[in-house]
Amino acid sequence: MNETHSFSTPVIKIDSPEPKIALYPGTFDPITNGHIDIIKRGLRLFDHIIITIAINPNKNPLFSLDERIKMIKQCFSPKNTRISVDVTSGLIVDFAMKKKACAVVRGLRAVSDFDYEFQLALMNRKLQRKVETVFLMTGFRWIYISSTIIKDAACHGGEVNGMVPAHVQEALKQKFL
């Protein structure tokens, strides 16, 4: 059963003619319920979130780019115009400027995440001062999960129900048959 999420979260607007756009970058290999939680909460702050699949040549993803795009899109109602999916292989801040985004949203699970994310935010700020980094703490129920941990559990026959949408769980099962 595919799960789709439609949001009617009120948006607080400050007299601004431009919509507040944010990028939410990651490899999303695969998208998890923790990612979805960050997106939903980010929509309380921004008018539009571009889920940005960042191509990292140092990573060898389990799912193809097309599979990841499809899985992400299946998580949200096609009627939800506040979310889009895009891909970049360059610097996130350059992509943010191209997309007229004012911010990059990053999820934090633990103190160990903060060190890396803080360094990344400082570098992004140095590269492009017009793009802010917004950190959102992962919801408590998702604090222990990551795409890597999900893939590892699924690879060994572990049950990932409730940690990823049903269609992602099925895709993982198919990969590890």
Q: How far apart are CA 62 and CA 130, in angstroms?
A: 34
Q: Distance of CA 145 to CAs 26, 70, 108, Å?
A: 15, 21, 11
Q: Distance of CA 121 to CAs 55, 97, 127, Å?
A: 18, 15, 10
Residue 168 near residue 71, CB atoms below 8 Å: yes
Q: How far apart are CA 152 and CA 31, in angstroms?
A: 14
Q: Hey, which residues are catalytic here? A: 35, 59, 109, 147
